Amino acid sequence: MLGSEKAEAVKAPRSIWLVEDDPGIALLEERLLSHHGYEVISFRTGEATLEALDSETLPDLILMDIDLGHGIDGKETAERILARHELPIVFLSSHTEPEIVQKTENITSYGYIVKNSGETVLLASLRMAFRLHDARKKLQASVAEHKNTEALLSAILDFLPVPIAISALKPEPRAIYVNCSFETLVGKGREEILNRTHEENGFWVDENEYRNLLQFLGERESVFEMPVHLRHSSGESRYASLSAIPVFLQGQQLILTATRDRTAERNMIHKLELSEARFRGIVDNMIDGFFQTDERGRIILTNGAAARSLDYSTAELHGKYLSELLDWKRAKLHLYLRQRIFWRIFAQTLLPGTGSDFRCP
């Protein structure tokens, strides 16, 4: 053994359980391993090894003979150990038959050492098994950390009120993530959405909008506030604006979308438009002259009665200051009152476009 390797073993001693039924072989192997800095505990049977799992500190590695005489053999002992603990087990045997070696590989993949292979082979095999186990633990820790990070990110996204979805494009577009807000938007749970194509999910009222989205993403880096119509599970059409950006993760092309449900906003605008239309209808059919001004006193709405009374058209009155149309005696009063938004003017002396005085009825 090289000096650096020996120093490494001394610096970080490892514990090994040696399971060997032959006392002579066990003594030689125990002395060899102890000499190279390993802490060794020997067992003669599989049963004794299993009992020690509950009473002894677990080792860093188990060196297991296959033939253990009477009782359970090394293969069964290893299977029972691995059913309870994740430990590296290296088999040690005089058997070289392929079928026996294959059976041990189906149990564990940390190594198979043929007896009498020599000190160098034994120690190198153990170092290899330790390194393999250390690498596997690091990988498991990395996976666990990744899962924790993924869980945290998922919790953050679920907290957001914005519907978020992630889709994979190949081999065919499929949803791979949605947050809670997206579930609410379409009226479906994750189990009904994930790993299904957009045709199977049936979110898009107009397939042309989906094709346009893919086309736009192919021509530019992102899409912002694209108007779309999405189908709720109830059959209701939801009006929304969709923003999307392509993402490449581990060689896979994904689409990240954020959707803003504007159905309530659109319905409110529609109601306001209807209300404004009704208001304009009432104003246009009033007998009295009507003016609506902004905070500076400029006319922003008037009706036909007021326009006819002043001998103007409604278009001509729009944008004029009301003070231009009032008698100069009333101008000072108007300047005082001009912060009022709605005006109904009755029996005021006005200056018609012709220059003659006229009283609004």
For residue range 15-70, what is the model confidence (pLDDT) as tens digits?
999 999 888 888 989 999 999 999 999 999 999 999 998 888 899 999 999 888 88
3 state DSSP class of 54: helix
Neighbours of 16 (CB within 10 A): 23
d(CA 344, CA 239): 39
The per-residue pLDDT for 6 is 46
- Predicted confidence band of residue 11 (pLDDT cuts 50, 70, 90): low
Compute the mean pLDDT over every residue in the chain, rounded to the nearest whole number. Answer: 80
Condensed to tens digits (0 to 9), the pLDDT of residues 296-311 reads: 888 888 888 888 888 8
Q: List Cβ neighbours of 242 (8 Å cut-off, separation of 6 or more).
A: 213, 223, 225, 226, 227, 228, 257, 258, 259, 260
274 neighbors 192 (Cβ within 8 angstroms): no
289 neighbors 309 (Cβ within 8 angstroms): yes
DSSP secondary structure string for all residues of 196-260: -BHHHHT-BS-HHHHHHHHHHHHHSS-EEEEEEEEE-TTS-EEEEEEEEEEEEETTEEEEEEEEE
Higher pLDDT, 52 or 149: 52
The per-residue pLDDT for 327 is 59
In which element (H, E) is residue 98 found? helix 98-107
Phi and psi of 220, rounded to 5°? -140, 175
Higher pLDDT, 7 or 180: 180
The per-residue pLDDT for 113 is 86
- Predicted confidence band of residue 4 (pLDDT cuts 50, 70, 90): very low
Q: List Cβ neighbours of 43 (8 Å cut-off, separation of 6 or more).
A: 17, 18, 19, 20, 49, 52
The per-residue pLDDT for 330 is 53
Instruction: Report whether pLDDT(170) > 70.
Output: yes
Condensed to tens digits (0 to 9), the pLDDT of residues 250-286 reads: 777 888 899 998 888 888 888 888 888 888 888 888 8
The per-residue pLDDT for 359 is 37
Instruction: For residue 76, give the amino acid letter.
Output: E
Determine what percent of the chain is predicted with pLDDT higher than 70.
Answer: 86
The per-residue pLDDT for 50 is 93
Average pLDDT value for residue range 290-301? 84
* Domains assigned to the chain: 3-139 (3.40.50.2300), 161-261 (3.30.450.20), 280-359 (3.30.450.20)
Which range (72-81, 141-150, 168-177) has the least confidence? 141-150
d(CA 273, CA 262): 16
Condensed to tens digits (0 to 9), the pLDDT of residues 297-349 reads: 888 888 888 888 888 888 888 888 877 776 544 554 454 444 343 344 433 43
The per-residue pLDDT for 326 is 65
Condensed to tens digits (0 to 9), the pLDDT of residues 102-133 reads: 777 778 778 888 888 888 888 998 988 888 88
The per-residue pLDDT for 63 is 93
3 state DSSP class of 92: strand
- Predicted confidence band of residue 188 (pLDDT cuts 50, 70, 90): very high
316 neighbors 306 (Cβ within 8 angstroms): no
The per-residue pLDDT for 157 is 81
